Amino acid sequence: MALKVLGIETSCDETAVGVVEDGRRLLSNVVSSQVELHAPYGGVVPEVASRQHIRDMAPALDKALADSGIDLSDIDVVAATYGPGLAGSLITGLNTAKALSLSLGKPMVGVNHLEGHIYASWLARGDEDHPEESPGFPLACLVASGGHTDLILMEGHGVYRLVGRTRDDAAGEAFDKAARILGLGFPGGPEIQKASQGHDGTEFSPLPRAWMRDTLDFSFSGVKTALLHLAQREGLYPGDPEAEKTTELQEKVDRVVGEMAANFQEAVVEVMVVKALEMARRYKARGIVLGGGVTANARLREEINRASTLPVIIPPPVLCTDNGAMIAACAYFQFDRGEEFGLDLDIDPALPLG
């Protein structure tokens, strides 16, 4: 009998519920995004996020069940993210899972959000073709999101070693801040990607890459500050409200913004690709797995596929950003290896992996 897992994700600003069979078959994936609510602030406002999760949770749950075509009573395991993330946001998802587990009499699994991002790659592939068989362990995983830029060695299901991490801004945070500097919208990653289209960034000299000597750690605060200085030098920031908005001026601004966005994107992508490949080499990985919102980035996907001689596994973009299906997929493997969680499980905003 196939095991059906309901996965709930509320670690940040998406209220997400997914249903997955046997950790691989996606039956439904509903994501209620709060992007428009937070956009005016240029970032996620924790209090606003937690309030909105309360409103969106039940409708998302209803829709995920309806889309999956199965009844709540047919769910075998209920799972939710319990960290890392925003405390006020995590509470809604975990408590919903507890209530469902209690009322259905079914087990509950607590999932680490970062581990969930890794398991999105099990969902993305066909039934017979999953990373533990092809290409096999160990896998070099790059998890890059709004809060994390981690290089994690996955030696088997549930066996992780953190071998690199950002020492300051996460890659997604850097994209979001860069977008703000360039007067683009929120979240910044997709905006930078869009503005970069048709540009190669070579109108300006390359922004600095922080190689941090031979560690596998990252630093993205320098490139962000360098972009700010470049934008100021070019008179782009904070913008000249007095300037007459002629078509000619607007075209110039669009071109300059596009070039700066592309220049920034190249800098961040290059460091992530080089470090992920170096990690795979050092630890003799058999494949590279990408996960997290930033890995939806088209240039990153293109560049790592071009540069790697190892198999590269990246979920489709909708499964890179936060979703409930990845939580359900991950929970299946945790349940399978006998991990148990009591109903007294607490959230852990700083939950580590490996």
Q: Which positions lie near ligand KG4, rule CB under 6 A?
A: 12, 145-147, 172, 175-176, 187-190, 193, 292-294, 296-297, 321-322
Work out whether strand 287-291 and strand 312-313 pair parallel, antiparallel, or are unpaired. Answer: parallel
Residue at 332: amino acid letter = Y
Per CB under 5 A, 145 contacts Zn ion:
yes
Per CB under 5 A, 112 contacts Zn ion:
no
Q: Looking at beta carbons only, is 164 or 188 nearer to ligand KG4?
A: 188
Stretch that binds Zn ion, among 124-132, 140-148, 188-196, 260-268 (CB under 5 A): 140-148
Q: Looking at beta carbons only, is 259 or 322 nearer to Zn ion?
A: 322
Q: Which does 147 bind (CB under 5 to 8 A by kind): Zn ion, ligand KG4, none?
A: ligand KG4
- Options 312, 322, 347, 353; binder of Zn ion; rule CB under 5 A: 322
CB of 292 to Zn ion, least distance (A): 5
Measured CA to CA, the distance from residue 70 to residue 79 in angstroms comes to 17
- The answer to whether the beta carbons of residues 338 and 139 sit under 8 Å apart is no
Angle at 256 between CA 250 and CA 258, to 5 degrees: 100
Angle at 80 between CA 77 and CA 85, to 5 degrees: 165
Q: Looking at beta carbons only, is 75 or 326 nearer to ligand KG4?
A: 326
Cα dist from 209 to 218, 263, 270, 292, whole Å: 10, 11, 8, 21
Q: Which does 193 bind (CB under 5 to 8 A by kind): ligand KG4, Zn ion, none?
A: ligand KG4
Measured CA to CA, the distance from residue 297 to residue 268 in angstroms comes to 11
Q: Which two tokens stand for residue 353?
A: 């992996």
CB of 145 to ligand KG4, least distance (A): 3
Per CB under 5 A, 34 contacts Zn ion:
no
Q: Which does 321 bind (CB under 5 to 8 A by kind): Zn ion, ligand KG4, none?
A: ligand KG4
| Local structure of residue 138 (DSSP, 8 states) | S
CB of 115 to Zn ion, least distance (A): 11
Q: Which does 187 bind (CB under 5 to 8 A by kind): Zn ion, ligand KG4, none?
A: ligand KG4
> What residues form DSSP beta bridges with 312?
288
129-158 exposure pattern, b = at least 16 Cβ within 10 A, e = fewer: ebbeeebebbbbbbbbbbbbbbbbbbeebe
CB of 312 to Zn ion, least distance (A): 20
Q: Which does 172 bind (CB under 5 to 8 A by kind): Zn ion, ligand KG4, none?
A: ligand KG4
The site for Zn ion (CB under 5 A) is made up of: 145, 322
